[in-house]
Homo-oligomer: A and B are copies of this chain.
Amino acid sequence: MKTYTAHITVTLRRAILDVQGKTVEHALHSLHMPQLTNIRIGKYVEMSVQAPDAETAMELADEACSKLLANPVMEDYAIRIEEHEGAAA
């Protein structure tokens, strides 16, 4: 068993209006940063995954996303798996 780190981002689908992003965009423009646009806000989840290989780690993280972390109707998610540095637990 190895330890992997899964980095997951969950974002609203493009077709769905991101009101939180729009609000942040207005706030940034008020702070004199008009160069920043198209702001979309999502969730970021980081976790350790115990798995024999990277593929299994990816499957586990995917299952966590589809079952709990993301709403498949409104949200997309992306997963990046990374082998854990150091610690041979």
A40-81 contacts to B (CB < 8 Å): 40-51, 60-61, 63-64, 67-69
In the complex the two chains form, is A37's CB within 8 Å of B50's CB? yes
Q: Give the contact-size bracket for chain A.
A: 35 or more
**Distance in angstroms between the alpha carbons of A33 and B51 in the assembled complex:** 11
Q: How far is the CB of A20 from chain B (nearest CB, A)?
A: 10
Q: Give the Cβ gap from A18 to chain B, nearest Cβ, in Å.
A: 10
Task: Indicate if the CB atoms of B35 and A45 lie closer than 8 Å.
Answer: no
Knowing that A35-B50, A38-B47 are A-B contacts, what are 9 other residue pairs whose CB atoms are under 8 Å apart, sorted by A's residue number? A11-B46, A35-B49, A36-B61, A37-B47, A37-B50, A38-B46, A40-B47, A41-B46, A43-B44
